[in-house]
Structure 1
Amino acid sequence: MRMLTYLRCAAVLLLPAGLSAPGVAQEYRGVNLAGAAYSSNKIPGRYGYDYLFPKPGEVEYFRGKGMNIFRISVLWERLQPARQGALDPAYLGRLRDFIAEASRSGAKVIIDVHDYGRYRGVPIGTDPVTSADFRDFWTRMATAFGGSPGVMFGLMNEPQLHSADAWRDIQQQAILGIRGAGAKNPVLVSGIAWDAAHNFATVNGPALQSLQDPAHALVYEVHEYFDGDSSGRSPDCIPQSQVVGRLAPFTAWLRQTGHKGFLGEFGVGRNDICLQGLDRVGSYLAANADVWTGWTYWAAGPLWGEYMYTLEPKNGTDRPQMAVLQKYLSR
């Protein structure tokens, strides 16, 4: 308890002058459920073999831990097999079923289009894939889910484009398509350069801060991993004393611009240094809940096996990372 108290106090000291820690948890706290976007090189792929939607019990387990939001990865190509064509009824139906299950439990869902800014491997804005294609896709998704208040639209996971200005314009078209369809759902926008929190303010901030939403329901989603190079490829982590340095620049940008943020992906290994760092993340986010609306840990789902960051329980036993996160789920 002494360590937790110290972390909370330290987070308060990092707030700008005149601001105090709200002392409450984020509105949204949850997990990424991966599986439906697996085998992205196999389109459409075979359901139950190349990819899976969350298995029965996933929602129940994580809701029982206190989580209230799920970020579910899907593929644009599986949802919309032809550009500006109809949505695939089978894949869409499985997504609807999962959303309905989460909704019955009282949880929200982020639809995460996990295509890295591409359609069938072609970056948006590169012939023949256009921003109009992306707008058409999100217009159809808005029509399908606009009547579901528990659904949020994650426009694109970690877009691999070279220009933040170009990506801003592409996202703006999608936002206008969503609102033109009458949907009021929150929209999560992302940035280039792996959508990283530590450099978002400089790489993406100047371009993306000008995004406009007629419904005034934009949230800026970022990702951050706490291994040495922020890539999420190592089971080892930076010291907890360095953790806040990767999140603080984005926090400052949110306050400066008046926007809200969401940590859509973060994860750590199972060793003590990583778990201490994870505790530091939870403490910092809770202390800055005025601008950080929530988080979804990466990741869980039925196909992860012994992946170093997974929250998927093993034979009914919680992973070590869950013990840390639960401190921030019971408030």
Structure 2
Amino acid sequence: MLVKTTVCTRNVLLSAALLAAAIGLSPIQLAHAATATVTTQQVIATARVNDFTGPEWLKGSWRKSAGLSIPATAANKAAFRKGAQVRTGDGQVRTIKVIYYSGAHMSLMLSGATLNASKNGHPKTVAALGTTSVANGKPPVSSSDQVSSTSAHSTAINNYTNNDWLNGVWRKSAGFSIPASNVNRSAFKVGSSVKLADGQLRKINAVYVSGKNMSVMLSGAALNGKLGHPNKLFSSNATAAPSEPTAPVVTPPSNNASSTPLTTALNAFNGGDFVNGVYNTSKFVGVSVKATAENKAAFHKGAKIRFFDGQVRTIKLIYHSGGNMTVMVDGGPINGKAVGYPRTLSVSSTGFSSTSPGVGDTPAAGNAVPEIPINLVGINLAGAEFGADVGLPGVYLKQYIYPGEADFKRYAERNLKLVRLPFRWERIQPRLNGELNSVELRRMLTTLDHAKKYNMQVILDMHNYYRYHGKMIGSNEVPVSAFADAWRRIAQKVASHPAVYGYGLMNEPHTTNGKWPTAALAAAKSIRSIDAEKWVVIAGDRWSSAFHWPSYNTQLVKDPWMRDPNNNLMFEAHLYFDKDYSGYYTNRYEKYDPMIGVVRAKPFVEWLNRYRLRGFIGEHGAPDFSPSAVVAMDNMLKYLGQHCIPSTYWAAGPWWGDYPLSLDVKSGKPRPQLPILQKHAANKSCGAVGPLR
């Protein structure tokens, strides 16, 4: 994360960080050109402006010069091109000067003066202009979420494979899972027909929406998984009867992309018949949860819920009241003080194969402990990356420091034995493709010796944000080959050290212009030429945000080498709870939902499940002034533990002053985050990094 003290790294990147919190673009300045006008061109596509607001953006309008952010759909990429003209929400016609792509978004940088966000930003649209004729005097179909009433529409099928799904095809009866976009909801309705990849027509019997996905249940027999992803599903105007007889409507399948139970928070209800969200009367017992789309889909009659203490109950009835739902279950009274808010519960349609231990405790009696359990919870021991704000390489013991033996001893005694050790590329290798600095290397090796003495595992973290002396990797100044060379040289010097657990290729790449996958692959292969065994830890683009991971990092595993489990790869995400995902926690009065950490971790965890990869949360943290953030951290670590995903807390180590996230503060006051970390560090139920199965 971005460090917040004068000796830390992130102050110099504050502006870029806040921009990246919106979409991950680099700041640019464009010369203002005269506004262009056209009178003969037609609208060929429209796109809604993204709802981004932050220090650099206002309603999706770039504050510093003329620019708008829109979704990077295939239609938008085709219609909005450099040199083309667009019409903004208030009717101005501008020319596209530059386009920047960042994950699922694209920024159109325009001619002319800065735009008025209130007139041109979200929820307004921007129109691409061209010479394409308009048939029958009707406007063309927008590239945003809408569908023509006279032409067929197609959608991608979700790439889900587990016990219930095969390539997005429901195994038990005829059905597909697709994204629940507005256009899909309009096109795929009960009673209409769809065309499958093999040409057969089926009638839609039912549609179930769950969160961001929807299940389209069809007439006829169960379908072959070969008709699923990567094929598409087509809506059809055909009036021909379905090719097969109508089948009974089945129970809606889950759209959670995984057979893993859903974990959710209980409501903080007290009074009357409620104690911490647990309902008890002489006739009924149950719990109260939020009536979110995800909860509505998961909680249904007959499903099983599991409480924090491991007891499992069956759902009998559900009552909805406003934004909440009361779930009635079988069995006797439930102790709300023991299992109620702020604890969580899990729900599963298929039940639970065994009672899982409480997270933070050792497994319950009778559950086998792995022969060699992994360390699930650890820390960042910061200091060696400090001082970038005063110039690199800086002066040792003045601008930066390596953690000492006492730091390792202190956290080994606290059972936090997984360490992420940040360092600076410019210090370890002062000249690209040159020899490593012997003095700096000696400091690193001495630090590793401290870790070895206390039986700790270290992930070396190149803390450079995809840059070397401010120049991007992949540029003429810093070629990808130089990045790979640096890691090859480091691996040659440390591969035999017993404390080295892994090589963290790069801290929080951002604004990489899509070049990070190539650089990561080159560096990973370079390390593998030296060390075939230890982890190669690959961070994600867009500051490694776990919540935004699927939108920015699909290309990271495009090369089959990056998906090969024999290459011992871990993918690293970062996760903070504040509004802009940055970890600054500038609003001291913000209250955090107890499940916000789980919500922000799920996109990353589900991505790992989808590609059968292993994961690591390299940074997460909660400020000492926010009890609700500490509760959210507790729930998040429980969720990660259930998936055997290790994590390292940000941060510990010398020189932190009274930084609210730090475990080591000048005042020496007890840290509320520490007991939570220690509780989850005691979980020894995992014998391998997950969620690869």
Is the TM value for this pair above 0.5? yes
Distance 1:103 1:36 in 2: 18
Partner of residue 280, structure 1: 635
Matched to 2:608, the amino acid is L
- Bigger drift between 50-59 and 1-10 goes to 1-10
Alpha-carbon deviation of 1:301?
A: 1.4
Among 656, 659, 680, the alignment partner of 1:304 is 656
Q: Which has the higher strand share?
A: 2
Q: Say if 1:182 and 1:298 are closer, same or farther in 2 by CA, change over 3 A.
A: closer
Partner of residue 269, structure 1: 623
Partner of residue 224, structure 1: 575
Matched to 1:288, the amino acid is H
**In 1, are the aligned partners of 2:342 and 2:631 still within 8 Å (CA)?**
no
Among 506, 512, 530, the alignment partner of 1:162 is 512
Structure number with greater Rg is: 2
- Bigger drift between 198-207 and 211-220 goes to 211-220
Distance 1:150 1:22 in 2: 32
Partner of residue 83, structure 1: 432
**In 2, are the aligned partners of 1:142 and 1:183 still within 8 Å (CA)?**
no
What percent of counterpart residues are identical? 31
**Secondary structure of the equivalent of 2:635?**
helix
**In 2, are the aligned partners of 1:225 and 1:231 still within 8 Å (CA)?**
yes
**In 1, are the aligned partners of 2:466 and 2:512 still within 8 Å (CA)?**
no
Alpha-carbon deviation of 1:6?
A: 5.5
Partner of residue 153, structure 1: 503
Q: Which has the higher helix share?
A: 1
Matched to 2:347, the amino acid is L
**Secondary structure of the equivalent of 2:647?**
strand
The TM-score normalised by the length of structure 1 is 0.90
- Bigger drift between 77-86 and 301-310 goes to 301-310
**In 2, are the aligned partners of 1:113 and 1:157 still within 8 Å (CA)?**
yes
Q: How does 1:1-331 map to 2 (within 5 A)?
A: 5=339, 10=344, 12-13=346-347, 23=357, 27-41=375-389, 42-151=391-500, 152-164=502-514, 166-208=515-557, 210=559, 212=561, 215-234=566-585, 235=588, 236=590, 238-270=592-624, 271-289=626-644, 292=645, 294-312=646-664, 314=666, 317-331=669-683
Alpha-carbon deviation of 1:210?
A: 3.5
Matched to 2:520, the amino acid is Q
**In 2, are the aligned partners of 1:11 and 1:283 still within 8 Å (CA)?**
no
Return 5+ residue gaps in structure 1 as ranges. none
**In 2, are the aligned partners of 1:15 and 1:21 still within 8 Å (CA)?**
no
- Answer 1 or 2: higher relative contact order, Cα 8 Å, separation at least 6: 1
Alpha-carbon deviation of 1:34?
A: 1.2
Alpha-carbon deviation of 1:44?
A: 1.8
- Bigger drift between 204-213 and 66-75 goes to 204-213
Matched to 2:597, the amino acid is V
**Secondary structure of the equivalent of 2:561?**
coil
Distance 2:554 2:356 in 1: 25
- How many residues matched? 327
Distance 1:15 1:308 in 2: 41
Q: Say if 1:204 and 1:11 are closer, same or farther in 2 by CA, change over 3 A.
A: farther
Alpha-carbon deviation of 1:329?
A: 2.0
Matched to 2:619, the amino acid is E
**In 1, are the aligned partners of 2:595 and 2:636 still within 8 Å (CA)?**
no
Alpha-carbon deviation of 1:241?
A: 3.1
Return 5+ residue gaps in structure 2 as ranges. 1-308, 310-335, 361-373, 684-693
Distance 1:135 1:66 in 2: 34
Alpha-carbon deviation of 1:185?
A: 1.6
The TM-score normalised by the length of structure 2 is 0.45
**In 1, are the aligned partners of 2:461 and 2:505 still within 8 Å (CA)?**
yes
- Bigger drift between 88-97 and 11-20 goes to 11-20
Alpha-carbon deviation of 1:191?
A: 1.2
Partner of residue 116, structure 2: none
Alpha-carbon deviation of 1:226?
A: 0.7
Distance 1:180 1:28 in 2: 28
Q: Deviations over 1:78-99 (max 9, x none)?
A: 0000000000011111110111
Q: Say if 1:130 and 1:250 are closer, same or farther in 2 by CA, change over 3 A.
A: same
- Bigger drift between 23-32 and 95-104 goes to 23-32
Distance 2:444 2:350 in 1: 41
Q: Deviations over 1:163-191 (max 9, x none)?
A: 34x21111111111111124422110011
Q: Deviations over 1:164-223 (max 9, x none)?
A: 4x2111111111111112442211001111100001022113433536257521000000
Q: Say if 1:259 and 1:319 are closer, same or farther in 2 by CA, change over 3 A.
A: same
Distance 2:462 2:560 in 1: 19
**Secondary structure of the equivalent of 2:543?**
helix
Distance 1:167 1:314 in 2: 38
**In 2, are the aligned partners of 1:73 and 1:112 still within 8 Å (CA)?**
yes
Q: Deviations over 1:207-258 (max 9, x none)?
A: 3353625752100000010112211111545211333110111111111111
